[in-house]
Structure 1
């Protein structure tokens, strides 16, 4: 049986391992021992922010999925809240077995609990399977998203 819980610092190695375990993740993540300090600092910031939740999906004690959900207040839509999902990953051994669907369904319910008007996420356009997956779950590509990488000196 799969259950969901807020991630702890002890989960960080497994989470980064899953983030790095796909074609795009291999090029942008650094799964190594010890983990780079940047992951630890990011986890601490997420953990300290009441409007951010890093959630893991577990089968018994094994972590098999992860996502981050951020709750943001907006002035648009009459001052409503939005839930934004990032970093959705399922363990490679679990893909195609419904774990990702359960993660997203859980996140939608969590967004409703927090009174969100809108549930949104982004996914890399190269992830064509992910796009189809999200559309099957009822998400629609209603907006065009734009990003700019910034260099930090």
Structure 2
């Protein structure tokens, strides 16, 4: 994947990122690509926080993947920090190309560089293919997650 660049996202990348977030059955029900205002506001908050790393994968000038990596300082495990991988999305044309593996490996390397002791992620319970993908990359299902929508 020598023609791939993983870089910090810019506000100009938002339409491509939001389109990827909306391009699956779950995202289609919760994203509104036609209304950029909430995404611009969220981007400004993410961009201002040094513990947030919103990146895009770019090939030939085209955004083809994205993820957000969050560094979380903690007290448990003798004060260990951890990172949380969120919003991993691959453009439909690139799925199955190895790009997802490249993005996750980038996130793991970045996590090490940030001094994290643990890399964690969540995946919707209905995404069985994604679960197999993460397990192939060495992630272990270890917890049961809960959410309270506010």
Sort the TM-score into its range (normalised by shorter chain).
over 0.9
- Aligned pairs for 1:134-149 (under 5 A) are 134-149=134-149
Which whole-Å CA distance do the structure 2 matches of 1:149 and 1:126 have between them? 18
Report how many residues are paired.
Answer: 148
User: 2 CA distance for matches of 1:126 and 1:29?
Assistant: 18
CA distance in 2, matches of 1:14, 1:30: 13
Q: State the partner residue of 1:99.
A: 99
Structure 2 residue runs of 5 or longer lacking an equivalent are none
* Deviation >3 Å, runs of 4+: none
In 2, Cα distance between equivalents of 1:60 and 1:119: 30
Q: TM-score by structure 1 length?
A: 0.95
**Can you list the C-alpha shifts for 1:4-38, whole angstroms capped at 9, x where unaligned?**
00000000010000000011111111111xx3311
Aligned position for 1:111: 111
Distance 1:94 1:36 in 2: 24
Secondary structure of residue in 2 paired with 1:116: coil
In the alignment, the residues of structure 2 paired with residue 27 and residue 132 of structure 1 have an alpha-carbon distance, to the nearest angstrom, of 24
Q: Which residue of structure 1 aligns with residue 5 of structure 2?
A: 3
The Cα offsets for residues 84-114 of structure 1, whole Å up to 9 and x where unpaired, read as 0100000001001101010000000000000
| Aligned counterpart, 1:24 | 26
Q: CA deviation at 1:60?
A: 2.2
Q: Which residue of 2 aligns with 1:65?
A: 65
TM-score with structure 2 setting the length: 0.97
Using the TM superposition, give the Cα deviation of residue 126 of structure 1 relative to its aligned residue in structure 2, in angstroms.
Answer: 0.7
CA distance in 2, matches of 1:80, 1:149: 28
Residue 12 of structure 1 corresponds to 14
